[in-house]
Structure 1
Amino acid sequence: MFGRTPKQPIDSLFEAVDIDRKTNQASKEYLDQLRNRLKHSHEVAKQYADTARDKQKSEYDKKAKAA
């Protein structure tokens, strides 16, 4: 299709399709960048969750009464 041989998911397991080194390198770089972006977004989300949790705890503690 469009001058390229389509690659099926099963082909990566058996390496039945001859892969260009440029394509393979580009996909490895993409996966590395994707992992880094996902890790960064996870860290940012964790920071926001921690901040929200601390704020909610302090508001709860203001109104809480001893039993």
Structure 2
Amino acid sequence: MKNKLEEIRKRHSITQEELAKKLDVTRQTIGSLENGRYNPSILLAFKIAKLFKINIEEIFIYEEDSENEKL
């Protein structure tokens, strides 16, 4: 899954540390999200979307792979 978290966070002039505190997660979690090494729980995704007042789909982009297409 890809995301636009870093772009959105920077547009709002918020540091990773500030965002982490607002979401009650670590700065490392924010870094991992932004680098695509970590997919958020649905709860965290909703919290992020609510904080920025946008839809989840505007932040997180789901891309199906060939394995998922078989389901």
* TM > 0.5: no
User: Relative to total residues, which structure has the larger strand share, 1 or 2?
Assistant: 2
In terms of Rg, which structure is larger? 1
Tell me the TM-score normalized by structure 1: 0.30
Q: Which has the higher contact order (CA 8 A, sep 6+)?
A: 2
